[in-house]
Amino acid sequence: MSANLTYHREGDYLIPDLVAPEDVPTGIWGMRRKKYLWQHRNGIYTGMLLSGKLNAHLAQINQQATEMFEQLTRQMAAEQGVTERLKAQDQMAWVGAMNNIRNAAEEVILNELIYS
């Protein structure tokens, strides 16, 4: 691993000119992935952090998970007949069905993207 670091002198010390990694918003899915890597795959987490690839990875996971969540929610709602008509007729049934759909979609995303 070759790094081209530059230094500046402060008194008798050479201090590296370090730049903080770009602050990319990671979102809820990225934060869940980060927590999982930190707790269960510490070597991968540390390697990505030190190479500066962690934030980009978390942003990518967040984008993929968000798109997957929206798509799964739409598909499951259509399959189960959870429509705007049901929402107008029986709001509590609609809320219950949508909560179940959201939980199922979240479980799929956690297993396929976050914990893999």
pTM of the complete model: 0.77
8 inside domain: no
1 inside domain: no
pLDDT of residue 20: 67
pLDDT of residue 74: 97
36 inside domain: yes
17 inside domain: no
State the total domains in the chain: 1
pLDDT of residue 25: 81
Question: How far apart (Å, rounded) are the C-alpha atoms in residues 27 and 30?
Answer: 5
35 inside domain: yes
5 inside domain: no
43 inside domain: yes
pLDDT of residue 73: 97
pLDDT of residue 1: 44
* pLDDT mean for each 10 residues of the chain (116 residues): 76 84 82 96 94 92 97 97 94 96 97 94
Quick one: three-class SS letters along the chain?
Answer: CCCCCCEEEECCEEEECCCCCCCCCCHHHHHHHHHHHHHHCHHHHHHHHHHCCHHHHHHHHHHHHHHHHHHHHHHHHHHHCCCHHHHHHCHHHHHHHHHHHHHHHHHHHHHHHHCC
User: What residue numbers bound the domain in which 64 lies?
Assistant: 24-114
74 inside domain: yes
